[in-house]
């Protein structure tokens, strides 16, 4: 059965969605997006994702034609029309169709659509431990573009992923222009050292990921010391554990970075947090 999508208030097969070739989201990457997991047909942290979607849209002067409640219902509708118990929603808002040229005034009505599908970030064999490289591509600095805005233009991250592919790795760490760790190509970074859970703050050009925030809150509730501070590559290489998090990635342990084997993979902290994460997801499905 072909996957169904939601586009401008209509449910359609993906092949019939019909986004215009003159849409500025396609032509210029002019738009914003969110990725949302759902488990047992219930969206996970959807309100938080929608809040960030509206914040990203406001940051680029893009007014959504739908309310938060409208998009909550749209997500429920598109899940109901697809035969997946667990999956992934991609919410996209573009500037809409308009004449050629960068000027946003040429676009009259935003295009809003929601895709519903399965998502695998890495091969099955990598679930027990990722191989990473350190990308030559640097994360864009905050004085160029704020990393908190989730725009459709992800070329910075895509170039890092291309480097990982060419090196035969699963993913890449991106450094900021000061040479400190920012994030992976589509995930946040955590390290564990001496019993503390450490993650770079958003001031290091890392997206303040919603799954990241959830994990920090989860860890704090378990009595784990949580620290947000800059991380050098030395800090990462000498960590007791390293793992990635994201809506797409969920939680994935790291086994190797640039040929350096991690001390433990998956380590005891990762296992404890992953079990607690899975219990929260299970509780959601039973609510």
Which residues lie below 8 Å from residue 156, measured CB to CB, with a gap of 6+?
Answer: 137, 139, 140, 174
If you search the block for the tokens 């350096």, which residue do you land on? 260
57, 93 Cβ separation under 8 angstroms: yes
* Burial class of residue 28, CB neighbours in 10 A (0-12, 13-18, 19+): middle
120, 131, 150, 193: which one is catalytic?
A: 150
Which residues lie below 8 Å from residue 12, measured CB to CB, with a gap of 6+?
Answer: 4, 5, 18
Catalytic annotation present for 150 = yes
Task: Give the length of the chain.
Answer: 287
If you search the block for the tokens 């992934």, which residue do you land on? 88
Active site residues: 150
């Amino acid at each position: 059965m072909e996957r169904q999508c939601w586009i401008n208030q209509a449910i359609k097969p993906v092949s019939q969605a019909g986004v215009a070739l003159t849409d500025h989201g396609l032509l210029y990457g002019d738009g914003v997006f969110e990725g949302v997991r759902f488990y047992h047909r219930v969206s996970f942290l959807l309100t938080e994702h929608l809040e960030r979607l509206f914040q990203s849209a406001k940051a680029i002067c893009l007014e959504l034609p739908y309310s938060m409640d409208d998009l909550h219902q749209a997500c429920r509708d598109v899940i109901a029309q697809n035969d997946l118990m667990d999956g992934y929603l991609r919410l996209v808002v573009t500037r809409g169709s308009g004449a050629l040229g960068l000027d946003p005034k040429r676009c009259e009505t935003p295009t809003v659509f929601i895709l519903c599908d399965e998502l695998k970030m890495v091969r099955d064999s990598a679930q027990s431990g990722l191989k990473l490289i350190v990308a030559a591509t640097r994360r864009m600095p905050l004085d160029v573009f704020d990393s908190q805005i989730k725009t459709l233009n992800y070329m910075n991250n895509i170039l890092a992923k291309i480097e990982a592919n060419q090196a035969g790795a699963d993913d890449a760490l991106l450094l900021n222009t000061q040479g400190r760790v920012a994030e992976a190509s589509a995930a946040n970074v955590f390290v564990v050292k001496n019993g503390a859970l450490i993650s770079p703050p958003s001031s290091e050009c890392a997206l303040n990921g919603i799954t990241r925030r959830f994990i920090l809150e989860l860890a704090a509730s378990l009595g784990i010391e949580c620290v947000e501070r800059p991380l050098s590559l030395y800090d990462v290489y000498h960590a007791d554990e390293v793992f990635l998090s994201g809506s797409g990635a969920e939680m994935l342990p790291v086994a190797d970075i640039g040929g350096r084997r991690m001390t433990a993979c998956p380590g005891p902290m990762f296992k404890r947090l992953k079990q607690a994460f899975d219990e929260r997801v299970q509780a959601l499905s039973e609510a």
